[in-house]
Each structure stands twice: as C-alpha cells, then as structure tokens.
Structure 1
Amino acid sequence: MSIPFELPAEDRALSPYTGYTRAHVEAVADGLLGAAWRWATPEGALLDLPGRPSGSGVRSDGLEGYARTFLAAGFRVAGADGKDPHGWLERYARGLTAGTRTPGQDDAESWPLILDHHVQGQPMVESASVALGLMLTRPWLWDRLDEDVQDRAETWLRGAITHTPAPNNWYLFPFMVASFLESVGRGDSATARSMERALDLMETWYRGDGWYADGDGRAFDHYNGWALHLYPMLHAHLAGDQALAERFGPRLREHLEGFSLMFGGDGAPLHYGRSLSYRFAASAAVGIGAVTGRTPLSPGASRRLISGNLRYFLDRGALTPDGLLSLGWHGPHDATLQHYSGPASPYWASKGFVALLAGDDHPLWTATEEPAPSEGPDRVVALPAPGLLVQSTRDDGIVRLHNHGSDHVRPHEGEFAEQADAHYGRQAYSTHTGPTSLTNVADNHLSVEVGGVTSVRRRIHPLGAGHGDGWGWAASWHRPVFVSGPPMVPGLRVESVTVARGHHELRVHRVVGAPHGARLTLTGWATDALRSELVGVHGWSERDTVRAPQGTAFEPWVTVPRLSAQAEGTAVFVALASLSAEERATPLAEAVAEVACADGGVTVRWADGHETVVRFEPLSVQGADGSS
C-alpha cells in the first residue's frame, strides 16, 4: 500500500531483504510526527488525534499523543546528535511549558494530574515517555528551559513517584521518571526509593530464559521487550550505569536468543498478547540490544528484524491516508484492542525507533543485511521458564508459538470465565494468523462441553518444555472453566502436550474426570488464505470445518478446522495439526505411521521413522534420539 509521506530510495545492495536503511527509519519517524502534530492544541501540550476515546478520557488521550510522539522525536534527535531539521524539539518544549502551567485544569492545554493507577492512572504511563524524551534530548531541550518551567515539570512528573502504579510493568514508569530527575540533579530519597523498588520487583518477576513475568502472575508477552527489558537497559545506557548493565544485559542477550526467532520471514511479529496495536515496538528489544551490544545477533540480522518489522506494517495499511497509525494491526481492528486503547495508543510503536540511538557509522546501519533467524533452517526452540514453544519453517516464513505457560490471570484472581481471553487463552499463535473474536468459534482451543456449555482456558499450569534435534515439546494443564452454570466441574482437568516437528504439530490431550455426557472439541488454525489442517489420529470421532465470519486481524472472514468426540472419565486424544503457505503433496494424516496408547502413555511412530513417546504419570516426552 502507498505510504502518505516520502521515503528515500531503497538500497538493495546494503539491505537486500528490505531495502531500508537508517535514513528510511528517520523518514518514517519524521512522517509520523508530522502527521500527528496536525492535531495539536494551539500551544502543543496535547495532541488530540481523531477517533473514539479510551477509557481514560480525551484529555488523557491528548497527553498520550504528546508523550508517545515525544518518544519518537527523542530517539530521532538524540540519534542525530541534536540535529533537528524539522524543529520537533521546539514544539515539545512549547507543549511542556503549556501543559505544566496549571495541571488538572479543564482548559485547552493543561495536562491531567498523575494519580493512582485505579483512579486516573494513564498519565503515569505517559510520564515515563515524557521523562525519557527529556532525558534523551536534555542538551537541546531541558537545559534551555526557564527554571520555573523546569520546576513545574518536576512537580508534575513527581506525581508518578508519589502515587501507586498498577502491579506490573507500571513500576518502571516511576523508575524512568526518577532516572530522569536524578540525571538533572533533582534526585532525592524518593527517587532513590522508586528506582530501588522497581529493580527489586524485577528480580521477583524474572523467571529465566531471559523472560520476565509482567507482574506477580504468569503473563509473558511483548511487554518483555518493549518495557521490562527496554527501560532498565535504556537507563543503564543513558546514565552510564555499568553495574546495572552487567546485571540486566545478559538477560537481554538470553531473551533475544529465543525472541529473535519470533518474527516471520515477512517481518511480522507474533500476533500474541495484549497491546498489539503498538506494532513495530515489537523490535524494541532487538534495537536496544544492538545499541548496547547486549545481543547474540549480528548487526545485519538485527537490522533485518528492525527494518523488516517496520516495513511489514507500513506495507500492509497500518497508516491512515492522513499518515496516522490506526488502532489495530494491519489496519483498524477492534478485536485487537483493549479498553485502555485510545487514538494515540499506537504511538508506543515509537519504541521501535530506539535503534536510531545507534549513529550513522554504527555497524547496525553499515553492515549488510543478513537473514532473520526464521529465514534459516527449520527450528523448534523450547523456552521452559515461560512455558513457550517456538516453531519456525523456512519455506513459508511462518513462526508459530505454542503457549503452555503464559496467561493473564493475576495471583489474587480466582478462575472465572465471565469472558475468555483470546490474547492468552488459545494454545497456539503465529506470525500469519490471529485469534478469532470472542463472539466466534475459538481457534487452537480444546473445549469441554458439559450441559451445553463450553469451557475456556484461563490459568495455565506449565508442566515442562524441551527440545532435541529438529523437534521440541511443551506441556501444561488447566481446569476447564465455564461461562454459565457452575464455574467448574469437580475433578475435571485437561493435560496438554504439543510436539513440534517441521510443519507438524502433534497435539496430545488427556482429559481427567470428564462427567457423563461430556463432549470435547479441538480446533486448529483460523485462516482462509493459508492451509490449515487438523486430523484426529486417536480418540477423535468427528471432523468438520466451522465458520468465523468476524475474521481475524489478518483476514476479514476465516474458517477453522474442528475435531469432536464424546468423553467420560479419563481418556487420551491425539491430533495432528499444521499451518502452511503451500499445498503439500503428502496428506497430513500420512505424516504419522502408527499411534499406540497404553499404560497411560502415547507412542507415535512418524512416517520418516522418528518416534515420539508421551507419558503422563509422571509427565515425560522423548524422541527417538533419547532427548526430552
């Protein structure tokens, strides 16, 4: 699709995969800023972008427009060593002056006050972007402000330190505010406590394999890259905090070992988790890794991911004809959004511009582009700490994520199903498909139907994950939860194992305690543009295809393959699934030569001679090579 602002000519010699260079990234930042500033208030304190308001209201949305675009301007100007050919910083200085003049007032320019997250929390989120923008541009903006404006700005920012964040990555917002205040000589015991508190929490949230939980639960998603790794490493980089860099840098490197595989061959990030309208912020961890040197990736591979991720969305209609980022994925898509999503929310995509902190002569921009990890040989990588299994196939560039450990249920919450969570509850996600809407049939989902009511998957209990040569597995269990009638059936649980090999996904489920009359359904990938197959190889009795007319973020209308069977007591069900871009000569069912279920386990002999053995008591998964 056409882009509503001018970009430089492609450079296919330096960037054979995307054609994009550093100049393209700068031009996109400038184009987005120019489009957004057309909607500024007279003095520039609020950018009131068009669209339906978020749950926080239009004034908070206007601050969001200012703060999140300031982040893009900060990376743009700081990366150019202060060069500001479009005069962005003059506008942000004027807006800061106006917004902090009488905070909390109902006039054309005043910023809302920062209060507790459950009262009026969104301004706390935006305070981090304001603070980071000021920190990035200090010599050219902050240092030139009148002292009374600096004092007013500090007073407003300190609201983030004196109020309570949400119990997750929000603690990094006062952390960044404190980081900025200390950097300009305005630190004190309160800023020190705020930073120490956030860093202490980060230790409790770290689970291993380079992954943090987003709070005290088990939410593992894109917030790892664009918040939990990004903010501490940015602070360490900008403040010259070598001790913190040594503490958090190895975790970022380890995170990128697995996360770098989570971009498709077309540049798409995994469509998984919340806040997906932030789009190319997904490459923020790759960018900060390259800027700080805390990355396992070569400069050419890093740029391939950053540029590919950016171009993916620009080429697929993420911008409106006016040059604004729409609320959605490719284009507008309501099902992708959360209640906190407002017209300016997508501009957290500005975090993708962190790569601009690497200057013109940095290897990130001078090295020749290299293939992304998903463009290499087929791979299966297990991440036991978050309970994730990543599967990529080179010929179609599709990356699949099998979720056996990440949910969005906080520790204090009981398991209830007033509404399912399509962003976490499904068993698989990909770079080329999205979950179906909550009003349509759920894709990649095992459901137990009791009394005509179907179950959802809420809290996920990981059982393990591992990989061998060319294959991998992950397992979990959950209690089926019902949306009406009794929320649970006593003793009912589902144990699930996914084994990935090439394009194939072996899905093994053991249902325990199914009451008389229970019925099971298992669905596959939701798509009409790609080839989605689901074949029952043990226990399943019926097979059909279901329509999902509300579509996904990728397609306006999709179908979903489905298996079904009756169940009672304890029983094992085995299916084979696949998602691919091409018609395959060999039917999916022929990929498995034999399935034997005995002694509480399943032995699968594949057509190529490989053998997979799944046992449930205790759980173990083994391949023919003995790996598990």
Structure 2
Amino acid sequence: MHLPPADRIRSPYTGYTRAHWEAAADGLLAATEPYAAEGGALYYFPGDRTSWSGRLSDGLEGYARTILLAAFRQDETALQRYAEGLAAGVSGVWPRIEDRSQPLVEAASIAVALRLTRPLLWDRLDEGVRQRAAAWLGDALTAEAWPCNWELFPVTVGGFLQEIGHEPEASRKAIDRGLERIEEWYVGGGWYTDGEGRKFDYYNGWAMHLYPVLHAWFADDSRLSTVYGERLEAHLADYARLFGGDGAPMHQGRSLTYRFATTAPLWLGALTGRTPLTPGQTRRLASGALKYFLDRGAVNSDGLLTLGWHGPDSAVLQGYSGPASPYWASKAFLGLLLPPDHEVWTAEEEPSPVERADEVRPVTAPNWLIQSTSSDGLVRLHNHGSEDVRYDPYYTRLAYSTVTAPSPSYDNTVIVGDDPSRTDIEPLGLGDGWVASRHAAGGGARVTSVVLARGAVEVRAHLVSGAEPGTPVRVTGWAARDGVLAQASPAVGLDAALTGVTGEGGTLFVALVRLTGEADPVPLDEAVTVRADGAGELTVRWRAGAEVRVRLDDAGVSVGAEG
C-alpha cells in the first residue's frame, strides 16, 4: 500500500491526513478487484477458511463489505463495477435472505452503500434491476434476526426501501420493531448490551450506535437524532479512552479481525456533531488506529486484509469469520463523508485522553475500570461486568489491555482447584479508583473480587468462598509481551508463586500487579503496601500516603474514603 509522506505539521502524532485515508481506501479497493466472480456479484478472497455460513455467503460478504468502502470513498469507477455486480447478484447469484442467515447482515451494508451513493449508482440502474434488487432486499424486512445487534439490519434495509418507496408499510414496521428491540438493551451512560445479558464490547460502537444514528441522519429525523445522538456522545466519552497511545484498540471482545472498524463511532460523532471530542482529538484517535494496523501487517503483500489482528491470527476468529469478514473494517472510512475542508480534516491533531494524563476512570454501565498511563501510553481495562461465555477468553478475563492478548495459560484469572472458569459475573459496584464483582468458579466456589488502581499499579483482592478447605487457589496477572513489563507479587494469602489454599469459610488472597512500559519502575512493594486487618478486611496504602480501607464479604465489597 502506497501512502503519502507523513505530515508532521498538521498531524504531529500520526503524520496521517485525509490523503492517507484516501490512499488507504484506494489501495484496499484496488487489491480486491481481481477476486470478483460471477459478474462481480461475489468476491472470493484467497485462503482455505470458510465460515459456517458457507462459500456462497462468504462471496456475498466480499461484495457487501467492499461496496461499503467504495460508497464511503464515493469512487465512481469502483461503484460502476459494483453496479454490475448488483445486477448479476439479484438475477439469481446471491443467496436469499432468510431467518438468522448471514445474508441479512450483508444486506444492511448493501443498503447503506446504495443509500449513500443513490445518484451515482441506484438512480442509474435499469428499472428491472432496481425492482429485483428491492425485492431481494425486501426479504430482510420480515427475516428473523438473532436477538442482538442483528435486530438493526432490518432497520437499515427498511430505511433504504422506505426512501425509494418499496413496501413502505413493511419497511416502517421493520424499522419500528428493530428500534424498539434495542431499547431493551440500552443500560444508560451511552452503553448497550449486545442482546440479553451483559455483553459489552466494540459492537456498541460499530453496530449498536452506528446503525440507529445513521438511520436518524439519513432520515433527517430530529427526534431520533437527539435520542441516539445523546447516547453516542455519552458513549464516546468512555470509548475514546479505550485506545492506547500507539493507536491500538483494546484487545477485548469478539470480531477483533474488523480491526480499525473501531474508529467508526469516532467519525460518526464528527459527522453528526454529537461528540465530546475536538476535531483534532477525533482525527488523532482514528488515524492512530489505522496507522497501528497498517504498520503491523494487517494488509498482506497482495494488499488484502487478513483474518487476524496484526497479521493472520486464528486466535481472534469466530465460526462466522470468513475470508471477507475483515472488510467490515470498511466502516472506518465513514470519515471520508466529511468534506476535505471540514475541521476534522483541517485541525491540528491533539493528544488523545491517554496522552494527556494518567487516569483511572470508572465506567458504570459495564462495571469497568479503565486505567491508563501517559508515560507509556498503555490502557488497561478491568472487567467486572462483561460476560459472554461463548467467546471466552475475550470476555471472561479480569483484565485486558491495548498491548496484550488473552493467553492460553489463563492470564488475569483466579483458578480455584484446577478450574479457571469465570461465569455468572455479578457487578458489585465501582468508584474512584476501584471496581468489584463476584463470579462463580470451580467446584461450586464463589469469588468476590475488587481491584484498586493508581498509576500503573493494581491491588487485586479475591475472597474465595464455598470451596472445600485445602482447595488450591492460583492468581495470575498479565501475560508477558515483548516491550512491556508484566509483574505480580503476593501480598496476602499467597506464596511467591501466587498460589495458596482455602481455609474454613471465606479465604482472602491479594496480589500486587503491574503492566508497564517503563524500563525501571519503582518496586511494587514500595509503590503500595497492603495490610490484612481481619477476615476480608484490608488497608491499602499508596506510596503518596493515601490510605484506602477495603472490606470483602458475602454481602459484597465496600471501599472506604481515602484518608
């Protein structure tokens, strides 16, 4: 991929400008063209992996996710190819949209693209092609969606079909049904769960916010724009803090192979004017993420996005991940809808939140604690409220970061007996510098946990109840990674190997933990000291002299005011 020279005047942090985004979009589009099949209706990318939806669906996915990129780029030459592919696709090549089928997902991307480029593509099609395309899309209006972000795909298709006058009543019903459905999952503070339960991850930004906000924007609906815009703005205040100083997004949740799709809600806030970020902050965060992946092999020698994180990496894939899945990263190019003279493109880059100051930020809805340090640009996410056991380990670890990935040896875990499971996570609250939860562990045990954080240092306390006396317990910290220092040392109830055994009743285990990019940090036992004051009671004294009193018991966790 050929990018322009870095512009360190306008973009002192990343060097990226609009020209870099345009070049990246052009490079990605050009690389996909040779893989078109069936008159351009399908795109089959190389590799021996097929998603659980099958090869034909994977080919449709290749078309849908790359036409989205062409639409954001407003590339008339590329759009002509996609117009030809659309005509072929709706003439019998594409699989039908059925209940809970992958084509329902891809129909939403096609609908967004057609709506964005209507004068350039849709309005130029033959009437027969338009009728067949509307009929194919129309199946999305009544197709049953999985009870999660999928509910928004009929909304998105319905918005386009309503605009062109196709089945307006069915379109309206699909829109109302989907928007009503997601209200059940809005939990406040700008956060949704991705369906029932407590599934918090990037789907908040690239699905749960993206589709309703775009729907309101397309429709010029002031009421919906206010409702969804306020939610997006609140969400971005937290979301902007999930990117490291090197541009890396938080390594948590599923579908991480979408990579820089994580920037979509940042651009969406700028596009709709609903963001707490300045234009310079928005571009710095978005360009930082794009640069992070392009610099680390996300695009292979053929110019194609690979299935993985940096380069190919099967650890971040799910069963639905097919060869074209990474091209949902096309959502990152939403910012190209903003004209070149928009201030988000012309302003000088400003430091991101993690670059401004050390911060320990409680996030109420998911019961998370975001811990960042400006000296090394690392961000750590303490997860005491998000769970989706289908995709462990990307939901059920105690902590995640922008520089580490969950390890097969169970980093950030309390292992009771020989069982590392963490299920039925129950949030127990959070406050200034702390967050707590309870979860089910091996052998019927319950673990009540609290983490206190300051700077790069963490105090992790775990009260294990319900286990047989003498049950071994092991506490793990961060996975090792080149370039950063991962430390863990015992404080209460643990030996040097961070192992201990349960006694009668609840048994307390406390470890001091740190993940840092500093070469020679203050020793952990000098940065913080912990004193056990009784069963489940601790006094934590930070190096600066402030004390925090902590109590863990079967009723929950209490953290006293600092003295």
Per the normalisation by structure 2, the TM-score is 0.97
User: Do structure 1's residue 455 and structure 2's residue 420 form an aligned pair?
Assistant: yes
Aligned to 2:440: 479
Indicate which of 268, 271, 281 corresponds to 1:288.
268
Aligned partners of 1:100 and 1:263: how far apart in 2? 40
- Letter of the structure 1 residue corresponding to residue 332 of structure 2: G
TM-superposed CA distance for 1:187, in Å, is 4.2
Q: Which residue number in structure 2 is paired with residue 621 of structure 1?
A: 559
Contact 1:420 1:458 in 2 (8 A): no
How far did residue 582 of structure 1 move? 2.1
Task: Decide which of 394, 399, 402 is 2:374's aligned counterpart.
Answer: 394
| Counterpart in the other structure of 2:95 | 112
1:273-304 C-alpha deviation (Å, 9 max, x unpaired): 00000000001111100111100000000000
Q: Show the 5 A alignment for 1:148-297.
A: 148-297=128-277
* Cα 1:585/1:196, change in 2 over 3 Å: closer
- Partner of 1:459, secondary structure, is strand
Residue 531 (structure 1) aligns with: 485
Q: How far off its partner does 1:343 sit?
A: 0.5
Correspondence list, 1:354-433, <5 A: 354-409=334-389, 421-433=392-404
Equivalent position of 1:589 in the other structure? 525
CA distance in 2, matches of 1:363, 1:475: 41
Structure 1 residue 444 corresponds to structure 2 residue 412: yes
Tell me, what secondary structure is at the counterpart of 1:515?
coil
- Whether the 8 Å contact between 1:421 and 1:458 is mirrored in structure 2 is no
Distance in 1 of aligned mates of 2:146 and 2:24 = 32
Indicate if the aligned counterparts of 2:260 and 2:329 stay in contact, CA closer than 8 A: yes
Structure 2 CA distance for aligned equivalents of residues 532 and 23 of structure 1? 38
In 1, distance between residues paired with 2:324 and 2:391?
A: 26
Contact 2:254 2:391 in 1 (8 A): no
SS of residue in 1 equivalent to 2:506: strand
Q: Which amino acid aligns with 2:488?
A: L
Distance 1:592 1:366 in 2: 45
Aligned mates of 1:228, 1:584 — CA distance in 2: 42
* Per-residue CA distance 1:359-395 (angstroms, 9 max, x = gap): 1111100111111111111001101111111010001
Aligned-partner Cα distance in 1 for 2:106–2:148: 15
Instruction: Decide whether the 8 Å contact of 1:381 with 1:390 is kept in 2.
Output: yes
> 2:469–2:501: 8 Å Cα contact kept in structure 1?
no
Q: Is residue 313 of structure 1 aligned with residue 293 of structure 2?
A: yes
Does structure 1 conserve the Cα–Cα contact (< 8 Å) formed by 2:404 and 2:481? no
Q: Output the amino acid matched with 1:512.
A: S
- Tell me the C-alpha RMSD between the 2 structures: 1.3
| Percent identity of equivalent pairs | 53
Match of residue 494, structure 2, among 526, 530, 540: 540
CA distance in 1, matches of 2:64, 2:236: 28
| Residue in structure 2 matching 1:521, options 474, 492, 495 | 474
- The code of the aligned residue for 2:500 comes to A
**1:321-365 Cα shifts (integer Å, max 9, x gaps):** 000000000000011100110110000001111111111111100
Amino acid at match of 1:49: F
- The AA in structure 2 aligned to 1:226 is W
Per the TM alignment, residue 594 of structure 1 is displaced from its structure 2 partner at its CA by 4.2
Matches within 5 A, 1:86-125: 87-102=77-92, 110-117=93-100, 121-125=101-105
CA distance in 1, matches of 2:321, 2:521: 44
Which residue is equivalent to 1:55?
52
Structure 1 stretches (4+) deviating beyond 3 angstroms?
A: none
Q: Distance in 2 between matches of 1:223 and 1:585?
A: 36
Partner residue of 1:18 out of 14, 20, 32: 14
Does 2:2 align with 1:6? yes
Return the alpha-carbon distance in structure 2 between the equivalents of residues 13 and 257 of structure 1: 27
Partner secondary structure for residue 381 of structure 1: strand
Aligned-partner SS, 1:478: strand
1:456 alignment partner, SS class? coil
- Distance in 2 (CA, whole Å) between partners of 1:576 and 1:287 is 38
Task: Give the corresponding residue for 1:556.
Answer: none
**1:532-571 alignment runs, 5 A limit:** 532-543=486-497, 563-568=498-503, 569-571=505-507
Aligned with 1:511 (options 460, 464, 477): 464
Between 1:275-284 and 1:524-533, the stretch displaced more is: 524-533
- Secondary structure at 2:242 match in 1: coil
CA contact (8 A) 2:68 2:330 kept: yes
1:610 and 1:623 in contact (8 A); partners too: no
CA distance in 2 between partners of 1:299 and 1:340 (Å):
35
Task: Give the CA deviation at 1:593.
Answer: 3.3
1:55, distance to aligned residue in structure 2 (A): 1.1
- CA offset at residue 586 of structure 1? 2.0
TM-score, structure 1 normalization: 0.87
Residue 575 of structure 1 corresponds to: 511
Deviation at 1:618, TM superposition (A): 4.7
1:599 shift after superposition: 5.5
Query: Structure 2 counterpart of 1:564, which letter?
Result: T
